[in-house]
């Protein structure tokens, strides 16, 4: 699988995730709240062609962002 995001793109994406976390928005990967050292795994190439896709979850009543989830999806 080709790495479609260069290091500058990854750094920029991580910086955005930091801004959300600083506002109290949890970053959840595979169902677990993660800290910054874990975030790089969303960029890892996998032999099974899976990758992580972000889901921005909001409160149904207020529409405010409540968490950012990354779940593995498969491209077949």
The residue whose two tokens read 């890892």 is 44
Q: Give the separation between CA 3 and CA 10, rounded to whole angstroms.
A: 11
Q: Give the separation between CA 9 and CA 35, rounded to whole angstroms.
A: 19
Residue 14 has φ and ψ, to the nearest 5°, of -60, -40
- In this predicted model, what pLDDT tens digit does every residue of 5-26 receive, in sequence order? 677 889 999 999 999 999 999 9
- In this predicted model, what pLDDT tens digit does every residue of 28-73 receive, in sequence order? 999 999 999 999 999 987 888 889 999 999 999 999 999 999 999 9
Residue 28 token pair: 């959840």
Q: Quick one: how many helices (H) and strands (E) in the chain?
A: 1, 4
């Amino acid at each position: 699988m080709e790495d479609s995001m260069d290091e500058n793109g990854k750094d920029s994406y991580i910086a955005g995730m930091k801004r959300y976390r600083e506002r109290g928005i949890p970053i959840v990967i595979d169902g677990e709240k993660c800290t910054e050292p874990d975030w790089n795994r969303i960029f890892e190439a996998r032999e099974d062609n899976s990758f992580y896709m972000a889901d921005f979850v909001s409160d149904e009543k207020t529409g405010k962002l409540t968490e950012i989830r990354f779940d593995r999806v498969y491209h077949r």
